[in-house]
Amino acid sequence: MLYGAIETGGTKMVCAIGNEHGEILEQISIPTTTPEETMPLVTGWFKDKDIQAVGIASFGPVDLNRNSKTYGYITSTPKPGWGFFDLVGTVQKELHVPVGFDTDVNGSLLGEMTYGCARGLTDAVYLTIGTGIGAGIMTNGKLLHGMLHPEAGHIPMAVHKDDTYTGKCPYHKTCFEGMAAGPAIEERWGQPGKKLRDRKEVWELEAYYIAQALTSYIMILSPQKIILGGGVMHQEALFPLIRKNVAEMLNGYLRTKELEDLDSYIVPASLNDDQGIMGCIKLAIDAAA
């Protein structure tokens, strides 16, 4: 059986064909311009490929409520042309197969839970830190949607006492994304993160903010594992700093076997940046079932 996968992003659409084992057999990348230009290229690529279903993981905000009139839409995105675009409907109309749909971060989490480092678990968080910050959350074996979907990149932060940066989020200034996403790093230090590799203070401060967020997720969601992905997390020096800060912030309050081994608890994404597209395959498999 073959399944289609579409991971929509701000700059490109990754499309793939995979099998029930999550193996990617064919993959292409199509630039995200306007829906009129991009979508016929996307759906056209899947025609004649004999897929059973398609899984889509999309940038948001998206409408995941099946009872809503705008289910399957990208909703209030500032990306020109894509606001209130019927993504699921467009794909369904062209390909005539069942369509599974979720957020990009839930897609990545599902990939890790099905094929990667979180296999066998029921509760986990996948956090991506890049141009923005978002988190996919699974609780009791289900991807969390709630009234909309979590926006765990926009939680408030306690600003570090030595940090004078005023924050980049247009809504909240000094929220997690406003203090710790790639654009905030670049604005605060005057250079992109890639060029700051050897500046210890950059990553110490970054780890301080990431650890605060993880501590909140741990306290509220009680995950069995936390997976960190996205461009900023390619800076591997961050991991030990984050674990150290989390241990300090938890301050011995919680005692579990998972927290005794933070090296196995707070981990990098494990699927070579294919976690998102592999999650889409799983969304398609579930949609076909």
Largest CA distance in the chain: 59
To Zn ion, the closest distance from the beta carbon of 113 in angstroms equals 27
* Binding residues for Zn ion, total number by CB under 5 A: 5
Rounded to 5°, the CA angle 278-280-283 comes to: 120
Cα separation of 190 and 223, whole Å? Answer: 35
Cα separation of 98 and 96, whole Å? Answer: 7
To Zn ion, the closest distance from the beta carbon of 54 in angstroms equals 31
Radius of gyration in angstroms for the set of CA atoms belonging to the chain, rounded to a whole number: 19
Nearest alpha-carbon partner for 64 in 33, 87, 38: 87
Q: Indicate whether 234 belongs to the interface with Zn ion (CB under 5 A).
A: no
Q: Are 73 and 87 in contact (CB under 8 A)?
A: yes
Q: Of 49 and 172, which has the nearer Cβ to Zn ion?
A: 172
To Zn ion, the closest distance from the beta carbon of 168 in angstroms equals 9
Q: List the one residue from 124, 175, 218, 266 that touches Zn ion (CB under 5 A).
A: 175
To Zn ion, the closest distance from the beta carbon of 165 in angstroms equals 14
To Zn ion, the closest distance from the beta carbon of 206 in angstroms equals 17
What single-letter amino acid sits at 224? Q
| Three-state DSSP state, 62 | strand
Q: Which stretch binds Zn ion (CB under 5 A): 95-103, 175-183, 185-193, 232-240?
A: 175-183
Q: Of 172 and 244, which has the nearer Cβ to Zn ion?
A: 172
Q: Of 154 and 160, which has the nearer Cβ to Zn ion?
A: 154
CA 273 to each of CA 107, 142, 279: distance values in angstroms, whole numbers, following the listed order? 12, 22, 11
> Which residues between 118 and 157 bind Zn ion (CB under 5 A)?
154
Q: List the one residue from 172, 187, 204, 270 that touches Zn ion (CB under 5 A).
A: 172
Residues binding Zn ion (CB under 5 A): 154, 169, 171-172, 175
